[in-house]
């Protein structure tokens, strides 16, 4: 599936702006992160990179629950890294970088982990090839990401309002599996889970997405502010349950794999 190009500058700015509000709103991210931790099988001395560490919740889980002793926290937004430093209050190395341009030596890392970050990448195909490059043979790659049906209700409602993309495109499970195999990963295991979250209103949902930095970052998005008319049309188009609340569905894909032998 051809994905709409993402605005990487906007991604960096969105997450930088969300550094202060992220922890108060990232309930799903914490739930998924805890689940991802249970799937890891890394030795305690492994050198691991937490890609897209955000405010450091998942990094803390890696340290305290997975008992990993050598973690590098990587994020594209410096304000997020500073929050990670405040949370952990220790000497975990911080690396401000784009996961799609990893400034890491080849075959030098035992594990790369990432919690709900990789959906903001231009090309998972190219990303997986680069992750394969930096991992040692038999290194572990484990991550969670949004699946293609994530936020389907919001996407469907916006489609009744105008023709602009308002929700980012996400890859399907078969696509991710194929990209992983093409990149040379072994023992690829994938699981898809649907989490349904209730909100008092569409406004509350949109406020949460903004608060965690999950803006629409498509280059084809409408650059103008949403008009009151369009917002009202969105509210009318979004289905409301019998309890007066709305539901947002999040497809989460969990992936585990091992890197192949170096060439």
Q: What is the pLDDT of residue 263?
A: 47
pLDDT single digits (tens) 85-136: 999 987 899 999 999 999 999 999 999 999 999 998 889 999 999 999 999 9
pLDDT tier at 261 (50, 70, 90 boundaries)? confident
Helix (H) or strand (E) holding 113: strand 109-115
Q: What is the pLDDT of residue 8?
A: 64
Mean pLDDT of the chain: 89
How many alpha carbons lie under 13 Å from residue 16 in its C-beta half-sphere?
11
Model confidence at 7: pLDDT above 70? no
Q: What is the pLDDT of residue 173?
A: 97
201-210 CB contacts, 8 Å cutoff, 24+ apart? 201/235, 201/246, 202/154, 202/157, 202/234, 202/235, 202/238, 202/246, 203/235, 205/154, 205/246, 205/248, 208/25, 210/18
Model confidence at 82: pLDDT above 80? yes
Q: Among 52-61, 144-153, 178-187, 216-225, name the one with the lowest average pLDDT.
A: 216-225
Q: Which fold has domain 8-148+170-195+252-258?
A: Rossmann fold (3.40.50)
The percent of residues above 70 in pLDDT, for the chain, comes to 90
Residue showing tokens 């949004």: 146
Q: What is the pLDDT of residue 262?
A: 55
* Domain spans in the chain, listed from the N-terminal domain onward: 8-148+170-195+252-258
Q: What is the pLDDT of residue 6?
A: 64
pLDDT single digits (tens) 176-231: 999 999 999 999 999 999 999 999 999 999 888 888 766 554 444 445 556 888 99
Yes or no: say if 253 and 180 are a contact pair by the CB < 8 Å rule.
no
What φ, ψ does residue 136 adopt, rounded to 5°? -70, 155
C-alpha separations of 102 from 6, 90, 92, 112, 125 in Å: 18, 23, 18, 11, 14
To the nearest 10 degrees (0 to 180), the angle between helices 228-237 and 152-159 is 120
CB neighbours of residue 220 within 10 Å: 13
User: Distance of alpha carbon 35 from its chain centroid, rounded?
Assistant: 14
Report the SS3 class of residue 153: helix
């Amino acid at each position: 599936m051809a994905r709409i190009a993402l605005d990487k500058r906007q991604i960096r700015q969105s997450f930088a702006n969300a550094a202060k509000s992220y922890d108060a709103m990232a309930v799903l991210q914490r739930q998924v992160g805890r689940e991802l931790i249970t799937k890891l099988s890394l030795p305690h001395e492994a050198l691991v990179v937490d890609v897209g560490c955000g405010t450091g919740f998942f990094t803390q889980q890696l340290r305290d629950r997975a008992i990993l002793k050598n973690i590098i926290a990587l994020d594209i937004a410096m304000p997020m890294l500073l929050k990670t430093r405040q949370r952990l209050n220790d000497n975990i190395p911080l690396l401000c970088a784009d996961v799609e341009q990893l400034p890491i030596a080849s075959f030098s890392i035992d594990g790369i982990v990432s919690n709900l970050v990789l959906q903001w990448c231009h090309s998972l195909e190219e990303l997986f090839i680069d992750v394969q490059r930096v991992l040692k043979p038999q290194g572990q790659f484990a991550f969670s990401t949004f699946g293609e049906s994530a936020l389907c209700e919001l996407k469907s409602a916006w489609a009744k309002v105008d023709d602009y993309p308002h929700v980012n495109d996400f890859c399907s499970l078969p696509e991710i599996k194929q990209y992983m195999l093409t990149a040379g990963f072994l023992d690829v295991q994938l699981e898809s889970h649907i989490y349904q979250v209730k909100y008092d209103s569409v406004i509350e949902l949109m406020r949460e997405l903004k608060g965690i930095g999950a803006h629409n970052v498509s280059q084809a998005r409408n650059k103008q502010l949403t008009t009151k008319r369009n917002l009202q049309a969105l509210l009318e188009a979004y289905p409301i349950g019998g309890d007066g609340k709305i539901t947002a569905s999040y497809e989460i894909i969990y992936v585990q794999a091992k890197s192949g032998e170096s060439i």
